[in-house]
């Protein structure tokens, strides 16, 4: 019986956290995402360091937020796992995961 190997796709995750979030807490969120990707057999291609930026419009009462962008390759179930874990985190204001064309 042949074992089916999941095809990996390229994704880009961008999320915004509260500006008041401590650096340790932000690092913990990033590590959680990295572990999720690696545990499912994915690889991280690029991780842009968190950058505090002014928001185009107010989100949940905040005018600024920490932007984080991660580009990775993974099986198709990983983005949903990440999206579920980040959407229940009160410190995350917005998130977006895009599948990139190869």
Q: Do residues 91 and 32 touch, judged by C-beta distance below 8 A?
A: no
For the chain (102 residues), the mean pLDDT of every run of 10, in chain order, is 67 96 94 92 93 94 96 93 93 95 74
Of 51, 48, 52, 47, the C-alpha closest to 63 is 52
Tell me the C-alpha to C-alpha distance, in Å, between residue 1 and each of 7, 29, 63: 18, 39, 56
Domains in the chain: boundaries: 21-100
Angle, to 10 degrees, between the axis of helix 23-39 and the axis of helix 77-87? 150
pTM of the model: 0.87
**Which fold is adopted by the domain 21-100?**
Alpha-Beta Plaits (3.30.70)
């Amino acid at each position: 019986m042949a074992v089916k190997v999941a095809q990996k796709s390229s994704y880009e995750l961008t999320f915004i956290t509260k500006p008041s979030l401590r650096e340790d807490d932000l690092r913990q969120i990033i590590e959680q995402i990295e572990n999720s990707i690696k545990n499912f057999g994915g690889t991280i291609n690029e991780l842009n360091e968190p950058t505090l930026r002014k928001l185009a419009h107010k989100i949940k009462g905040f005018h600024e937020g920490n932007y984080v962008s991660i580009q990775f390759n993974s099986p198709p179930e990983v983005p949903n796992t990440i999206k579920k874990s980040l959407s229940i985190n009160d410190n995350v204001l917005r998130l977006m995961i895009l599948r990139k064309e190869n």
